[in-house]
Structure 1
Amino acid sequence: MNRRNFLQQASLSAAGLAILPGTLQAAEKPEDAAAASSFRAVFLSDVHVKPTEKAEAGMRKAIRKINSKEFRPDFIINGGDAIMDALNASKEKVQQQWDVWNRVMKDENKLPIYHCIGNHDAWGWQMTAPEVKQDPLYDKKWVMQEHGMQERYYSFTRNNWTFLVLDSAQENNGGYIARIDEPQYQWLETTLAAVPKDNHICIVSHIPIVSFCSAMFADENQANGDWRISRALLHVDARKLVDLFKKFPNIRTCLSGHIHLQDEVEYFGIRYFCNGAISGNWWGGAFKGFAPAYADFEFFKDGNVKRKMITYES
């Protein structure tokens, strides 16, 4: 898939049981106590799976490694763009892509998984036929059905962490724009206010809210030297969201995918992580130097977060 098309197209499963930390022993080191009260989650994004041998084998290898006894986290967060593309694909081709996704997940995954919707997961945005727009599967209904999601956006809690999963890609004249719609904003504001003050908060979005690598996606600046940052690559409502986040000091981190690049930005005390892509350069190797990878996150009781990028091909 080429970059121009990418720019133009700009579930919850049952969670595992919470594990309560044991009593601190006299000989136990403080860092050991912190580790004992943490949990791990894999953030995988932009799998872009399709019915080809290379894509299926690559996804299978990544999911198998995540589920291995040596690695095995507590749960998975799917950051979106599970399939290659549903924006302008026939029902037959979309179903073929979902068949591969579901087959690999059934064969290889035994972990709880929480899903975020990506722009390429939405069906029919670039199709003009009236019957597509009227189809019950149009828009995000199909991806929600495949993932078993009851809502486009939702929250869940693990230990003393609350996760808010957003729906960040909205249809825009046949393409898409990175923002949350007004009902979702109202839900976000209300949900943030309802989180206990002693709970830490992690916000998940497919498209970054704050990011540096969004500016690095294009190969060149504009002719006048201005940066090229598409409204499909960074939340256009980022200022509004950042202002909202300032009201809630227990927001610790935000996780995203979409860009196929990796970065870490701290802004007003919140750490924003953009976490690469399982598919790399859409199953064509590394993308701008970043090999196919997923992120291994450790969430600590004190609100700290650690990330390690895993290049699963190695």
Structure 2
Amino acid sequence: MKRKDFLKLGSAAAGLSIFPDILSAKEPASKRSLRFAFLTDIHVKPGSIPEEGMAKALQHVRKLKKKVDFIINGGDSIMDALAATKESTQTQWNLFHKIMDQENSLPVYPCIGNHDVYGWFQKSPDTTDPLYGKTWAVKELKMTERYYHFTKGIWDFIVLDSTQLNPAGGYIGKIDEEQLTWLKSKLAEIPSDHHISIISHIPILSICSGLFFNKTEPNGDLKIQRNLMHTDFLELKKIFMQYPNLRSCLSGHIHLQDEVRYLDVSYYCNGAVSGGWWKGAYQEFKPAYAVFEFFNDGTCTREMVNYE
């Protein structure tokens, strides 16, 4: 064998010994991720369209080519408990559990939506009923508290209860004083090398909150009502700015979709599984859910999925 041929053969052999290491090299830590589905505003109720729609959305999640690790339920699991009777509320929760049990095996992290709250809008509510208010939703969603924290790798999730009763009527998007104290304490506990995402049913910040009614006021103003976006946003913003590792806030409620980048925090409003409350699209947005991918470098991506 000629020397130059030997050297070529030797080089080729060396290359073969190197390439397997390259091909099997571990993915860079910055690119490792967790992936989850965000399903919000399911609004299930008896009827073929909402029942089949909820089932179809969960089936779609299950059949994703790139699998998700878990589901976050963004609230408004049932059509409405605010003004419903006890019997109607129980029927809706039973239906929700039946479909979840049949169509989902993933871990689910729930959030309380305004329509999950029992009795606030009844004409003569029994406020002494142990199920009155959020107690029933906490029980049905198997939550230890109405707000809580969980960790996935180096990502910390804080789930808020963003619906507060307005004594003058209706409800307000905000967190109460007890919850605010807890939030400040929890944020301070999270290691600075972890990334933080906050979940709320009502958006903390959202342009869609001003577009919900699809019109302007008679004087031309866009109006954001106090039940459509957090009224305590400015206070929360000051807190968030103390934590550069706070990366995102995820919400539902508006049935519309937006993404707002503000002071290095990404705010996502994630449409609705029910679309226009099971009457097709709401404005321009069809029934959908979101798939998020959270990376170890603190970045994230969102894909909105029209599952029909």
Distance (whole Å) between structure 1 residues aligned to residue 130 and residue 267 of structure 2: 35
Question: 155, 159, 178: which is aligned to 1:161?
Answer: 155
Distance (whole Å) between structure 2 residues aligned to residue 258 and residue 266 of structure 1: 19
> Residues 47-80 of structure 1, C-alpha deviation per residue, up to 9 Å, x if partnerless?
0000111100000010111122634310000000
Which amino acid counterpart does residue 277 of structure 1 have in structure 2?
A
Distance (whole Å) between structure 1 residues aligned to residue 141 and residue 64 of structure 2: 25
The SS at the match of 1:164 is strand
The SS at the match of 2:22 is coil
**Aligned counterpart, 1:8:** none
Give matches, 1:261-272, under 5 Å. Answer: 261-272=256-267
Q: Check 1:249–1:40 CA distance in 2 against 1; reply closer, same or farther (3 A cut).
A: same
For the Cα contact (< 8 Å) 2:31–2:296, is it kept in 1?
no
Deviation at 1:227, TM superposition (A): 1.2
Which amino acid counterpart does residue 134 of structure 2 have in structure 1?
K
Q: Number of aligned pairs? A: 288
Unmatched tracts of structure 2, length 5 or more: 1-19
Distance (whole Å) between structure 1 residues aligned to residue 283 and residue 66 of structure 2: 27
Distance (whole Å) between structure 2 residues aligned to residue 182 and residue 128 of structure 1: 28
Question: 52, 62, 68: which is aligned to 1:73?
Answer: 68
Distance (whole Å) between structure 1 residues aligned to residue 64 and residue 266 of structure 2: 29
Which amino acid counterpart does residue 257 of structure 1 have in structure 2?
G
Distance (whole Å) between structure 2 residues aligned to residue 57 and residue 30 of structure 1: 44
For the Cα contact (< 8 Å) 2:112–2:137, is it kept in 1?
yes
For the Cα contact (< 8 Å) 1:43–1:77, is it kept in 2?
yes
Tell me, yes or no, if structure 1 residue 216 matches structure 2 residue 222. no
Which amino acid counterpart does residue 265 of structure 1 have in structure 2?
V
Distance (whole Å) between structure 2 residues aligned to residue 77 and residue 254 of structure 1: 13
The SS at the match of 1:99 is helix
- Quote the sequence identity (%): 52
Unmatched tracts of structure 1, length 5 or more: 1-24
Report the structure number with the largest CA radius of gyration.
Answer: 2
For the Cα contact (< 8 Å) 1:40–1:75, is it kept in 2?
yes
Deviation at 1:32, TM superposition (A): 4.6
Deviation at 1:34, TM superposition (A): 5.3
Give matches, 1:190-209, under 5 Å. Answer: 190-209=185-204
For the Cα contact (< 8 Å) 1:65–1:71, is it kept in 2?
no
The SS at the match of 1:101 is helix
**Aligned counterpart, 1:237:** 232
> Residues 174-219 of structure 1, C-alpha deviation per residue, up to 9 Å, x if partnerless?
4110000000000000000000000000000001011111111112
Q: Pairwise CA RMSD of aligned residues?
A: 1.7
Distance (whole Å) between structure 2 residues aligned to residue 164 and residue 298 of structure 1: 17
Deviation at 1:117, TM superposition (A): 0.3
TM-score, structure 2 length as denominator? 0.90
**Aligned counterpart, 2:170:** 175
**Aligned counterpart, 2:133:** 139
**Aligned counterpart, 2:16:** none
Tell me, yes or no, if structure 1 residue 99 matches structure 2 residue 90. no
Tell me, yes or no, if structure 1 residue 277 matches structure 2 residue 272. yes
TM-score, structure 1 length as denominator? 0.88
